[in-house]
Amino acid sequence: MPHIGVPFVGLHYLTSLRQPLRVLLDRWWSRASRGERRSTRIRADDATLSAAGAPDERWTRMNEQDGSPRPAGMDGWFDRNLPPRQQVLGFVYAKWAIGALRAIVEVKVPDALADGPRTVAEISAATGTDPDALYRVLRAVAAAGVLHEGEDGRFALLPVCEGLVSDAEGGIRDMFLFASDPMLWRPYEDVAHTLRTGGSAFTHAFGLPFYEYTKAHPDKAAVLDRAMLQNRYPGTERIFDEFDFGRFARIADVGGGRGHFLLELLRRNPGTTGVLADQPHTVAEAKELFDGSGVEDRVTVAPIDFFTEVPSGCDAYFIKNTLHNWDDDKAVRILRSIRAAIGGTDARLLIVENLLRGPGEWDIGKLIDVESLAVLGGRERGRAEWNRLAADAGFAPANDPVPGDVALLEYRPV
């Protein structure tokens, strides 16, 4: 999230958010940097729309051009129309872009366009918004390449915006709203506080650490928990593809949120049973997800405080996008709770987090780390740091994952 899950999501919630943001920024600035105006209008009903949603090709192409070790999309943050000393101003555009995009998502413009292109008057009526203000924001979002503005005055969804329709299959609306929620904006007003003191800008702004704040504000806890249901991104899919969870008879998902990952894991591994272990107010909502899912007979829900105790009796303890929410001392306390639950058995610890690349290398995890630091007082980590924490809690490495993006680190008890 973050990324996005953000340290949550991981702001991984931020990781999840990076794709629409990346697309938006990339399209905006790469076009500006080439001094190009859109000469061919993209028609919303045209097959060319799918090309508009294919940023990866563009990244590859741009990488080939400049030999950059970064994904070239990130180069789009600079405004190449400006003299070199001023190009960093491009970063400020992100505020305008994300503000405009969040606004249209909040008032559900994507929902209003789900059935096809509509005029501003129609969208305004459907969303209860001021037509002039709406037009100007839509125009900006379309210029940034997230919507299509037709010459007939109608706006349409582009593929990159389809995931922002409510309840869209594979969508990220809730993740997007969480990652751009005012409670996660405010810490950014004073990241310098974090620099000066090392303390969390979130705690400084709200008077409570993030998880105590969300516990005290059920509306915000709901925003977080809903977002975590969409805490899926290519890295997570890769883990399902590459890691054999079926070798375990009983897996605990520690800090598993409302259980979306465990649900998928159990669906894919019919011989495995699971324990969803998270805070009481979070797991209280899990029943809804599991009821009628076909795996409800193989799941137990455990309301816990992982600083105190984690349920025993499992042969794997899975913990995803959660340890990075905490500083080293607290992360080791969580790992020790897991180690105590494992006792004298050979159960495995499975950590899923960003595994940071080395100095100077591009890594979205390095940006997510700023969110971890400023919001949660947590941190993203490299291999050596994970091994040190695990060793402090009584674990030794059992695999050797490749750094960069999300990785599954397996440890055995020692």
Binding site for ligand SAM (CB under 6 A): 2, 5, 8, 10, 211, 228, 231, 255-257, 261, 278-279, 282, 304-307, 320-322, 325
Nearer of residues 3 and 22 to ligand SAM, judged by Cβ:
3
Give min distance, CB of 38 to ligand SAM, in A: 38
Cα 170 to Cα 334: distance, rounded to the nearest angstrom: 31
Sequence-distant (6+) residues with CB within 8 A of 193 are 199, 201, 204
Strand arrangement of the beta sheet that strand 273-278 belongs to: 299-303, 273-278, 250-254, 316-320, 348-354, 406-413, 395-397
Encode 195-240 in three state secondary structure.
Answer: HHHCCCHHHHHHCCCHHHHHHHCHHHHHHHHHHHCCCCCHHHHHHH
Taking the least distance from each CB to ligand SAM, the nearer of 10 and 187 is 10
In the complex with ligand SAM, the residue whose CB is nearer, 320 or 357, is: 320
* Shortest distance (Å) from residue 322 CB to ligand SAM: 4
Letter for the amino acid at 181? D
Q: Please, which residue, 58 or 260, has the CB nearer to ligand SAM?
A: 260
Structure tokens at 197: 């003191």
**Which parts of 229-363 fold into alpha helices (H)?**
234-242, 260-268, 280-283, 286-290, 328-342
CB 208 within 8 A of CB 42: no
Whole-Å CA distances, 275 to 13, 25, 167, 315: 23, 40, 27, 11
CB atoms within 10 A of CB 157: 24
**Minimum CB separation from ligand SAM for residue 261, in Å?**
6
Least Cβ distance, residue 10 to ligand SAM (angstroms): 6
- C-beta of 139: minimal distance to ligand SAM in Å? 35
Looking at the DSSP bridge assignments, the partners of residue 411 are 349, 397
Residue 289 CB, nearest distance to ligand SAM (Å)?
A: 12
d(CA 368, CA 377): 12
Task: Count Cβ neighbours within 10 Å for each residue of 218-253 and write b for 16 or more, e otherwise.
Answer: eebbebbbbbbbbbbbebbeebeeebebeebebbbb
CA distance 202 to 377: 9
In the bound state with ligand SAM, the residue whose beta carbon lies nearer, of 126 and 222, is 222
Q: Omega into 3 within 30° of 0, i.e. cis? A: yes
Looking at beta carbons only, is 97 or 263 nearer to ligand SAM? Answer: 263
Closer CB to ligand SAM, 158 or 228, in the complex: 228
In the complex, what is the shortest distance from the CB of residue 101 to ligand SAM, in angstroms, rounded to a whole number?
23
In this complex, which beta carbon is closest to ligand SAM, that of residue 20 or of residue 255?
Answer: 255
Count CB-CB contacts under 10 A for residue 182: 8
Cβ-based nearer residue to ligand SAM, 6 or 21: 6
Pairing of strands 348-354, 406-413: antiparallel
Nearest approach in angstroms of CB 11 to ligand SAM is 8
- Smallest gap from Cβ 327 to ligand SAM, in A, equals 13
